[in-house]
Amino acid sequence: MSALFPLIVEAAVTRRHGKVLVGPVDLTLDAGGATIVIGPNGAGKTSLLRMLHGIARLHSGRIEWACDQDTARARQAFVFQTPVMLRRTVQDNLAYPLRLIGMRRTESRAKAAEMAARIGLEEALGRPATVLSGGERQKLALGRALIRSPDLLFLDEPCASLDGRAMREVEDILTTAVRDGTRLIMSTHNMGQAKRLASDVVFLLGGKIHEQGDAKSFFETPSTAQARAFLKGDIVE
Amino acid sequence: MGDLWDGLSQAFFLLVTLDADLVEITLRSLRVTLTALVIATVIALPLGALLAVRRFRMRRFVIAVMNALMGLPPVVVGLIVYLMLSRSGPFGVFGLLFTPTAMIVAQVIIIVPLIASIAHQALRELWSDYHDLLLSLNTNHVQRMSALLWDGRRALLTASLAGFGRAIGEVGAIMVVGGNIDHHTRVLTTAIALETGKGDFALALALGFVLIGLAIAVNLAIHWLTQTEREGRW
Ligand SMILES: Nc1ncnc2c1ncn2[C@@H]1O[C@H](COP(=O)(O)OP(=O)(O)OP(=O)(O)O)[C@@H](O)[C@H]1O
Ligand SMILES: [Mg+2]
């Protein structure tokens, strides 16, 4: 359905001030499903997502989409660990990605209103985004990321500041998106959520992919000692 | 003491009767400074935004020049503009010396660095907020700058008002390039300097009150803008 996949990543490395943040990473991803990226703090989850999305510089290796770079980028969206709120109303935040691709104001605002209803922010449409609560910000960022119906959605710990009910709502939105053909690559510290959403898992440790594979077998029979320890909640170095 | 009292009462009289000279000078001041402000804003705001979003090679140089210009005494700016516009200078053929246009040029040079620098600071902060999202949305430089200019409009208005305050109260540069010619280039500040020198405190004080009034209005506006910004109102 989408021309984005397969994604082929070969020996991709991102550095910052000479220090390797993540890599070398080898990875092949096909359309559909949800890849959950897990690992301890500082393992490189955020860096991996940013590198794949193309907003962290690739220092060596390659990241190849099935289509050209610009098309690939236009079909992706990213929800950041700390959501970015434009200093505009909720409605204008949601409409912004549509305005960028030239959609007329009235039409984009109508779509924004639809999206607000989908993410449960219809009451807040006219409010400045900067006064939203942490959870509402997460939802707004998610809605804004979904508004162009991306083929691939990156989520960096999207439920970090959500309570149980809001998390459930977000997971429902994500499941619907996956059913509609959006692929997810998501980092999380919540193992319950990882198990509910994952079709496959990437386990990062020290900036490298330590273990990777089908979600069911990873959670039931992790093959490395570190992954076993991490799943048990032990400290992994 | 008697001088002061006389001057004050006459100044009030001039103000309430809308004395013709007073009105003429005030309107000229506003015309010159508002024109300079519009031109300076059109240059300075995009410059501030550009400095915030782009890491070009000349960036540090431009910022250094901007800061240097900001520290320059206005009367020196006046001297330079004078030399440029005087009969033998490079722009002498236009015959602009001792015209309101020359005063506008000088004011633009004085306030562009000020406005650009305040704008740059505000937009740099906004840019560090927006950076990730705008990169992720694959925006081009024009889209980035317009997002910053639009969403930062309150801070930018404050920057412009600061420029207005600086320009309307400036005396050295416009005295040099305008010449303080009656009915032609005489504005609030140069008129005050002249009338004070002549010992005619009534008009000087009345003009001074107008200036003070404008300064208070500008500061109230800045205060109000920062207030609404902080409360997240639009
Ligand atoms: N801009 C940067 N400059 C220097 N080091 C960085 C930078 N960004 C990240 N790092 C380092 O890279 C490593 C990986 O960071 P990253 O944010 O990818 O981890 P993470 O797995 O997302 O962690 P967390 O679970 O805490 O979000 C960390 O050691 C971090 O300190
Ligand atoms: Mg992270």
Q: What is the mean pLDDT of residues A76-99?
A: 96
Spatial CA neighbour of A128 closest among A97, A85, A95, A90? A90
pLDDT > 90 in chain B, percent: 71
d(CA A151, CA A211): 25
| pLDDT tens-digit readout, A181-212 | 899 999 999 999 999 999 999 999 999 999 99
DSSP string, chain B: -HHHHHHHHHHHHHHHTT-HHHHHHHHHHHHHHHHHHHHHHHHHHHHHHHHHH---TTHHHHHHHHHHHHHS-HHHHHHHHHHHHSTTSTTGGG--TTSHHHHHHHHHHHHHHHHHHHHHHHHHHHHHHHHHHHHHTT--HHHHHHHHHHHTHHHHHHHHHHHHHHHHT--HHHHHHHTT-TTTT--HHHHHHHHHHHT-HHHHHHHHHHHHHHHHHHHHHHHHHHHHHHTT--
**Pocket residue to mutate for ligand 1, from A13, A21, A189, most atoms within 8 A of Cβ:** A21
d(CA B202, CA A27): 83
pLDDT band at residue A128 under the 50/70/90 scheme: very high
**pTM summary value:** 0.89
Q: Which two tokens stand for residue B205?
A: 């004080």
Q: What is the mean pLDDT of residues A145-166?
A: 92
How does the average pLDDT of chain B come out, rounded?
91
Q: How many angstroms does the Cα of residue A80 sit away from the middle of ligand 2?
A: 9
Q: Which two tokens stand for residue A21?
A: 């943040």
Q: How many angstroms does the Cα of residue A202 sit away from the middle of ligand 1?
A: 17
| pLDDT tens-digit readout, B208-220 | 999 999 989 888 9
Residue A165 has a pLDDT of 87
Residue A1 has pLDDT above 60, yes or no: no
Q: What is the mean pLDDT of residues B64-92?
A: 92
pLDDT > 90 in chain A, percent: 73
Residue A84 has pLDDT above 90, yes or no: yes
Q: What is the mean pLDDT of residues B14-43?
A: 94
d(CA B82, CA B86): 6
Protein residue whose Cα sits closest to atom 18 of ligand 1: A44
Residue B231 has pLDDT above 70, yes or no: no
Which chain A residues have a beta carbon less than 8 Å from that of B233? 128
Domains of chain A: 7-82+153-161+183-232 (3.40.50.300)
Query: Are the Cβ atoms of B151 and A78 closer than 8 angstroms?
Result: no
Distance from CA of A58 to the nearest CA of B (A): 15
Q: How many residues does chain B have?
A: 234
Q: Tell me, using a 6 A CB cutoff, whether residue A23 lines ligand 1.
A: no
Residue B230 lies in a domain: no
Residue B1 has a pLDDT of 60
pLDDT band at residue A227 under the 50/70/90 scheme: confident
Query: Are the Cβ atoms of B135 and A55 closer than 8 angstroms?
Result: yes
DSSP string, chain A: --SSPPEEEEEEEEEETTEEEEEEEEEEE-SSSEEEEE-STTSSHHHHHHHHHT-S---EEEEE-SS-HHHHHHTEEEE-SSPPPPSSBHHHHHHHHHHHTT--HHHHHHHHHHHHHHTT-GGGTTSBGGGS-HHHHHHHHHHHHHTT--SEEEEESTTTT--HHHHHHHHHHHHHHHHTT-EEEEE-S-HHHHHHH-SEEEEEETTEEEEEEEHHHHHHS-SSHHHHHHHHT----
Q: Tell me, using a 6 A CB cutoff, whether residue A18 lines ligand 1.
A: no
| Structural domains in chain B (count) | 1
pLDDT band at residue B223 under the 50/70/90 scheme: confident
Residue B37 lies in a domain: yes
Residue A217 has pLDDT above 60, yes or no: yes
Q: What is the mean pLDDT of residues A89-112?
A: 96
CATH number of the CATH domain containing B82: 1.10.3720.10
Residue B231 lies in a domain: no
Nearest-CB residue to A130 (from B133, B152, B232): B232
Residue B228 has pLDDT above 80, yes or no: no
Residue B228 lies in a domain: no
d(CA B70, CA B64): 10
Residue B230 has a pLDDT of 64
pLDDT band at residue B182 under the 50/70/90 scheme: very high
**Pocket residue to mutate for ligand 1, from A17, A46, A204, A237, most atoms within 8 A of Cβ:** A46
Q: Which residue has the tokens 């907003």?
A: A55
pLDDT band at residue B224 under the 50/70/90 scheme: confident
Residue B82 lies in a domain: yes
d(CA A11, CA B26): 70
How many C-beta atoms surround the C-beta of residue B59 within 10 A?
12
Contact between B48 and B117 under an 8 Å Cβ cutoff? The reply is yes
CA distances from A236 to A37, A227, A230 (A): 16, 8, 6
Residue B162 has pLDDT above 80, yes or no: yes
CA distances from B200 to A22, A72, B6, B188, B207 (A): 76, 74, 10, 14, 12
Q: Ligand 2 being an ion, which residues bring their Cβ within 5 A of it?
A: A 45-46
Domain that holds residue B98: 2-222
Residue A2 has a pLDDT of 52
Which chain A residues have a beta carbon less than 8 Å from that of B132? 55, 78, 80, 84
Q: How many angstroms does the Cα of residue A88 sit away from the middle of ligand 1?
A: 29
Q: Which two tokens stand for residue A7?
A: 């994604």
Interchain contact A206–B (C-beta under 8 A): no
Residue B218 has a pLDDT of 86
pLDDT band at residue B55 under the 50/70/90 scheme: confident
d(CA B63, CA B55): 12
Residue B48 lies in a domain: yes
| pLDDT tens-digit readout, B104-135 | 999 999 999 999 999 999 999 999 999 999 99
Q: What is the mean pLDDT of residues B18-27?
A: 93
Contact between A98 and A75 under an 8 Å Cβ cutoff? The reply is no
Residue B232 has a pLDDT of 57
Residue B93 has pLDDT above 80, yes or no: yes
Residue B201 has pLDDT above 70, yes or no: yes
Contact between A128 and B233 under an 8 Å Cβ cutoff? The reply is yes
d(CA B190, CA B174): 8
Protein residue whose Cα sits closest to atom 25 of ligand 1: A41
CA distances from A95 to A103, B61, B117, B146 (A): 9, 38, 31, 16
pLDDT band at residue A162 under the 50/70/90 scheme: confident
Residue B233 has a pLDDT of 54
Q: How many angstroms does the Cα of residue B139 sit away from the middle of ligand 2?
A: 24
